Amino acid sequence: MSRVYNFSAGPAVLPEEVLREAADEMLDYRGCGMSVMEMSHRSKDFEDILHDAEDTLRRLMSIPENYKVLFLQGGASQQFAAVPMNLMKNRVADYIITGQWAKKAAQEAELFGRVNRIASSADRTFSYIPDCSDLPVSADADYVYICQNNTIYGTRFPKLPDTKGKLLVADVSSMFLSEPIDVEKYGVIYAGVQKNAGPAGLVVAIIREDLISDEVLPGTPTMLKWKTQADADSLYNTPNCYAIYICGKVFHWVESMGGLLAMKEKNEKKAGLLYDFLDGSSLFKGTVEKGSRSLMNVPFVTGDEALDKEFIAAADKAGFKNLKGHRTVGGMRASIYNAMPLEGVEKLVAFMKDFEAAH
Ligand X SMILES: *Cc1c(COP(=O)(O)O)cnc(C)c1O
Q: Which residues bind ligand X (CB under 6 A)?
A: 10, 75-77, 101, 147, 151, 171, 173-174, 192, 195
- Residue 74 vs 180, nearer CB to ligand X: 74
Distances (CA, A) of 166 to 57, 96, 142, 186: 26, 13, 7, 10
Cβ nearer to ligand X, comparing 106 with 352: 106
Nearer to ligand X, 67 or 337 (CB): 337
Q: Which of 171, 249, 270, 308 is catalytic?
A: 171
Of 68, 94, 101, 308, the active-site residue reads 101
Residues whose CB falls within 8 Å of the CB of residue 161, separated by 6 or more in sequence, listed in order: 96, 119, 132, 133, 135, 144, 146, 168
CB of 74 to ligand X, least distance (A): 7
CB atoms within 10 A of CB 272: 13
DSSP3 helix / strand / coil % (the chain, rounded to 5):
40, 15, 45
Shortest distance in whole angstroms from residue 80 CB to ligand X = 8
* Orientation angle between helical segments 241-256 and 259-280, nearest 10 degrees: 80
Looking at the Cβ atoms of 195 and 252, the one nearer to ligand X is: 195
Residues 90, 165, 227, CA angle at the centre, nearest 5°? 50
Q: What is the rounded distance in angstroms from the CA atom of residue 197 to the CA atom of residue 299?
A: 21
Q: From the CB of 281, what's the least distance to ligand X, in Å?
A: 26
Whether 171 sits among the annotated catalytic residues: the reply is yes
Interatomic CA distance for residues 152 and 167, integer angstroms = 25
55 is catalytic: no
Cβ of residue 152: shortest distance to ligand X, in angstroms?
7
Tell me the residue type at 228: T
Q: Which residues pair with 301 in a beta bridge?
A: 285
Q: Is 327 exposed, middle or buried (0-12, 13-18, 19+ CB in 10 A)?
A: exposed
Nearer to ligand X, 39 or 247 (CB): 247
- Shortest-Cβ-distance residue relative to ligand X: 75
Q: Smallest distance, Å, CB 276 to ligand X?
A: 25
Catalytically annotated residue among 94, 142, 166, 195? 195
Helix (H) or strand (E) holding 71: strand 67-73
* Contact of 101 with 77, CB cutoff 8 Å: no
DSSP 275-302: HHHHHH-SS-EE-S-GGGB-SSEEEEE-
Q: In angstroms, what is the minimal distance from the CB of 296 to ligand X?
A: 9
Nearer to ligand X, 275 or 337 (CB): 337
Give the active site residues: 101, 171, 195
